[in-house]
Amino acid sequence: MGNTIGHLFRVTTFGESHGPAVGCLVDGCPPRIPILAEDIQRALDRRKPGQPLTSARQERDAVRILSGVFENRSLGTPILLVVENTDPRSRDYDSLKDVFRPSHADYTLQMKYGIRDHRGGGRLSGRETVGRVAAGAVAARFLREVYPVQVTAWISAIGDIRMADPAGPVDPDSIYDSPVRCPDAQAAERMVERLDGVSQARDSIGGLVDCRISGVPAGWGEPVFDKLHADLGKAVLSIPGCKGFQIGSGFAAAAMTGSRHNDPFQAAGGRIGTTTNFSGGVQGGISNGEEIRFQVAFKPTPSIRTAQRTVTKEGLPVELEISGRHDPCIAVRAVPVVEAMAWIILADHCLRHRAMAGRLPPAD
């Protein structure tokens, strides 16, 4: 349970890190949308291990479309996307079979299921996000076919190195050209240095991901529980390593007054908008047509190559030194995953809104 997200655009991911395959099943993609393996592959390549500064595991991550697409267009039926695991090096994990790695899910999986695939974190591995990114590519293709939506995420901090808020739109190429997914070249350089230092210290470090969404019309999001930002929040909080989510003003709102925080409405160019955007593009859980803005916090990679104290399944204390291939900063790898989750939630809320907004008596 719990492997599905979305009410109408439904994404289920599957697969263990060192099992035969990972991927996703997308149910609810509308028909006649161009779905090409190349598009999905391009999205997967953005999260692929083997990039500079990230894990050394070499996976081709070649995606296969096994159902739901006919002559390059969606049929309206479930789309199954499968990526076979080809470089698992499972033996690296033999020594971890009965040891609980600190701040991993080894212990909790054991307690929950009484069984676990100890190799590489099993189901709760970063590798699970392959399925998310593949599904995000389908969601993006659908949405962009029918609305001018754009989702852009980037690294805004690694450790104490922060990038200033961008004045205008961020060029996606400037993000993925950077090894740390940071569009500010100067900040990116310092982040690379910081990561080098951390790696040499056999340590890891946390980071922040910023996300901006433009082109969403007013009216998406459902009161009361399925507010647009609540669903976005859940979606990104479910990404491995995520510790926090804030929309618009976020935690800073706690120190602000209402007279400063309220976003005044104005009418300009035939549409009603706001002159500030502390709301982050969402009011009462419903999009207001302004840019949607949120920020996500990621913890440092828990796999570090320094000695740590922990216990075995039997409770015996052991000293653990984790070898193997690990990113020093999972936030960097999470950038395309944050984008994918946003696309999925937006596609779902687009469909939910359409259901209620079709043929009806006239609006007031």
**Touching its own copies, residues 270-309 (CB under 8 A):** 272, 274, 278-280, 282-289, 297-304, 306, 308-309
Smallest distance, Å, CB 16 to its own copies?
6
> How many Å apart are CA 298 and CA 240, to the nearest integer?
8
Smallest distance, Å, CB 294 to its own copies?
9
246 in helix, strand or coil? Answer: strand
The answer to whether 193 and 219 are in contact (CB under 8 A) is: no
Site string for its own copies, 123-142 (x = CB under 8 A): xx---x--------------
Kindly state the tokens that stand for 114.
């009484």
Report the candidate in 359, 231, 208, 223 with the shortest Cα–Cα distance to residue 292.
231
77 binding its own copies? (CB under 8 A): yes
Residue number, 48 or 353, with CB nearest to its own copies:
353
204 binding its own copies? (CB under 8 A): yes
111 in helix, strand or coil? Answer: helix
Could you give the count of Cα atoms lying within 13 Å of 355 in the half-sphere of its Cβ?
A: 13
Stretch that binds its own copies, among 44-52, 133-141, 175-183, 222-230 (CB under 8 A): 222-230
Q: Which residue from 39, 87, 189, 226 is in contact with its own copies, where contact means CB under 8 A?
A: 226
Smallest distance, Å, CB 70 to its own copies?
4
How many residues sit in the footprint of its own copies (CB under 8 A)? 165
Residue number, 24 or 168, with CB nearest to its own copies:
24
Site string for its own copies, 86-115 (x = CB under 8 A): --------------x-xxxx-xxxxxxxxx
152 binding its own copies? (CB under 8 A): no
Of residues 1-40, which lie at the interface with its own copies (CB under 8 A)? 1-5, 7-8, 10, 12-16, 19-23, 25, 27-28, 30-34
> How many Å apart are CA 125 and CA 13, to the nearest integer?
12
Smallest distance, Å, CB 138 to its own copies?
14
Whether the upstream peptide bond of residue 335 has omega within 30° of 0, thus cis, is: no
> How many Å apart are CA 151 and CA 293, to the nearest integer?
10
207 binding its own copies? (CB under 8 A): yes
The four Cα atoms 197, 200, 203, 205 give a dihedral, to 10 degrees, of: 30
Other beta carbons less than 10 A from residue 262's beta carbon: 13
> How many Å apart are CA 186 and CA 163, to the nearest integer?
9
Site string for its own copies, 317-356 (x = CB under 8 A): x-------------x-------------------xxxxxx
> How many Å apart are CA 201 and CA 189, to the nearest integer?
19
183 binding its own copies? (CB under 8 A): no
